[in-house]
A and B are shown apart, each in its own frame.
Chain A
Amino acid sequence: MANVKRSPWLLHYDGSSCNGCDIEVLASLTPVYDAERFGVMNTGDPMQADIFLITGGVNTQNKDTVKQLYDQMPRPKVVVAVGVCACTGGIFKDCYNILGGADTVIPVDIYVPGCAARPQAIIDGIVQAVELFEQRSKEHDEMVRNQKKGSEVA
């Protein structure tokens, strides 16, 4: 019956942003947009998250944090960069401390542009991320099966 597509849990990290996108991400969970109807939950715990939503760029101080959060998430996982800051660095691009978008430290799968990104766009990004998540999950199952086979042979 169910597949993983129905239960994407989000981890939301706010990098070097103006908090504009941050608020829009939360807005997409409010009654007007209600992302929970797709099974989306905002967990705040990387150990339990499937989709990493990052708003804001990466600077010299938060680059390790972003990397660590990504590493702590169990496979399969998908990364969504929300807002131009997270995509490229945005209006902060030329600041002395900004390294650039989220993809300077972790592999980003989906880019949601906008300054600030609208809740509709964010939900659209999440829906696309969910598709990708399902595909990754299948690949992950495949890998686990192969590993099991491998260990039986050995």
Chain B
Amino acid sequence: MNMILRVVLYIVLAPIIGGLLEGIDRKISARMQRRVGPPILQPFYDVKKLFKKQVIIVSRSQTFGLIPYFFLMVLTGAMFFAGMDILMCFFVMSTAATALYFAAMVTSSPYATIGANRELIQMMAYEPAVLLTCVGFYLAEGTFNVSEIAASDRTDILFMPGFFVAFVFILTIKMRKSPFDTSTSHHMHQELVKGLTTEMGARNLAIFQVTEWYENVFLMGVVGLYLVNSNPMSIIWAIICIMAVYFLEILIDNTSARMKWQDMMKITWIFTLFTAGVNLLVLMLVK
């Protein structure tokens, strides 16, 4: 019963929380640039408007790619908050990302195609760290099961600080933040127009946006999992940690310039494999 409640709460609340997070993100970014910035509810205004615009379809199969992207991402989060296998969650998330790749690819627009290719490269860059995170949880807790990890007495971050740093590192890629926002070229960088989302307008862009909110809430949930243990107080610590991580991402976004994909690959792999790898060895030796 509790499990169903959590899933329902996720499905209902995730878009609201995700949208608010994005609004706060835009506000804080603006303050960092000494601007007033848009209202916190701006992302909701944007999505509402997008649903009202005329739908121009470049290629029908684009919608066919976007719908699985949406549903698989919701499924990822639902599985996570239901307390199922964390490894499985990340596999479903990768499948969702692949659906997005196809949605951009089918339009055969040069910008969307380059954006899609870069998305694949980004997946290649962050995937090892994601898998290592799962391995780390297994070594620390002896299980992949999210509900068992959350219900144990240990605070995982104490056992796996290296994995945590690696995960926060790849969050920058997953959340499409500078210096790694190569696939959609957010903000004012427009060398790829809008990259992956170039040919998405109106309703389709709105779906993409809402899916990102679901995704962000899921990722923040994983960040929280590092701190949650059997003590209910730990949830408060997890929320504080999530806010700190989110702020850090905004700070990185606003203070760093764009990176070439080659450098992104190199830095991400070296950094995440090093931090997570050292942590992995230590955990294996201690056990």
**Residue of B39, B194, B200, B201 with most partner-chain A CB within 10 A:** B201
Contact A4 B52 (CB under 8 A): yes
Interface positions of B from 191 to 217, Cβ below 8 Å from A: 193-194, 197-202, 205
Q: What are the residues of chain A within 8 A of B35 when measuring CB–CB?
A: 31, 34, 36-37
Per the CB 8 Å criterion, the residue count for chain B at the interface is 34
A39→B23 CA distance, assembly (Å): 11
User: How distant is A74 from chain B, measured CB to nearest CB, in Å?
Assistant: 4
Report A-chain residues with C-beta under 8 Å of the C-beta of B46.
7, 9, 39, 41
Consensus secondary structure, chain B interface? loop
User: Is A34 a contact partner of B36 (Cβ separation < 8 A)?
Assistant: yes
Chain A, residues 10-29, CB within 8 Å of chain B (1/0): the string is 00000000000000000001
Instruction: Please measure, in the bound complex, the distance between the C-alpha atom of A37 and the C-alpha atom of B38, giving whole angstroms.
Output: 4
In contact, A47 and B199 (Cβ under 8 angstroms): yes
When chains A and B are docked, how far (Å) is the Cα of A54 from the Cα of B183?
27
Q: Report the stretch among B53-61, B85-93, B257-265 that lies at the interface.
A: B53-61
Query: How many Å from the CB of B185 to the closest CB on chain A?
Result: 9
Interface string of A27-56 (1 = CB under 8 A from B): 001010010111101111101101000000
On A, residues with C-beta under 8 Å from B are 1-2, 4, 6-7, 9, 29, 31, 34, 36-39, 41-45, 47-48, 50, 72, 74-76, 137, 140-141
Chain B residues whose C-beta falls within 8 Å of the C-beta of A31 in the assembled complex:
33-35
Q: Which residue of B lies closest to A43 (CB)?
A: B194
In the bound assembly, the distance between CA atoms of A63 and B17 in angstroms comes to 45
Q: State whether the Cβ of B169 lies closer than 8 Å to any Cβ in chain A.
A: no
Least CB distance, A132 to chain B, in whole angstroms: 15
Q: Which of B49, B190, B194 has the most CB of A within 10 A?
A: B49
Please determine whether A45 and B193 come into contact, CB atoms closer than 8 angstroms.
Answer: yes
Residue of A nearest to B191 (CB): A44
Closest residue to B36 on the A side, CB-wise?
A37
**A44/B194 in contact, CB under 8 A:** yes
A9 to B49, CA, bound (A): 10
Asked if A48 and B205 make an inter-chain contact with CB atoms under 8 angstroms apart, the answer reads: yes
**CB-based nearest A residue for B55:** A74
* A72 & B48 in contact (Cβ 8 Å cutoff): no
Known A-B contacts A2-B44, A36-B38; the reply to A44 vs B193 at CB < 8 A is yes
Centre residue among B30, B48, B52 by max chain A CB count within 10 A: B52
Cβ contact within 8 Å between B201 and A47: yes
Question: B30 contacts A4, CB within 8 Å?
Answer: no
Among B37, B39, B52, B197, the residue within 8 A (CB) of A137 is B52
Q: Are A76 and B44 in contact (CB under 8 A)?
A: no
CB-CB nearest in chain B for A38: B38
Task: Determine which residue in B35, B55, B202 has the highest number of CB atoms from chain A within 10 A of its CB, and name it.
Answer: B35
Cβ contact within 8 Å between B193 and A75: no
B188 at the interface (CB under 8 A from A): yes
A47 CA to B33 CA, complexed, in Å:
28
Residues of B within 8 Å of A76, CB to CB, are 53-54
> Is the C-beta of B94 less than 8 angstroms from some C-beta in chain A?
no
Q: Which residues of A contact B38 (CB under 8 A)?
A: 36-39
- A37 cross-chain contacts in B, Cβ below 8 A: 30, 35-38
A72 closest partner in B (C-beta): B56
Tell me how far the C-beta of A69 lies from the nearest C-beta in chain B, rounded to whole angstroms.
12
Is there contact, CB below 8 Å, between B52 and A44?
A: no
Q: CA of A43 to CA of B35 in the docked complex: distance in angstroms?
A: 19
With A47-B201, A48-B201 already in contact, 12 other A-B pairs whose C-beta atoms are closer than 8 Å: A2-B49, A31-B33, A36-B38, A39-B38, A39-B46, A42-B188, A45-B198, A48-B50, A74-B56, A74-B201, A76-B53, A140-B52
State in angstroms the CA–CA spacing of A6 and B205 once bound together.
17
User: Is A47 a contact partner of B49 (Cβ separation < 8 A)?
Assistant: no
Residues of A within 8 A of B49 (CB): 2, 4, 6-7, 50, 137
17 residue pairs A–B, Cβ–Cβ below 8 Å: A2-B41, A2-B48, A6-B39, A7-B42, A7-B48, A34-B37, A36-B35, A39-B42, A39-B45, A42-B188, A48-B200, A48-B201, A48-B205, A74-B54, A74-B56, A74-B202, A76-B53
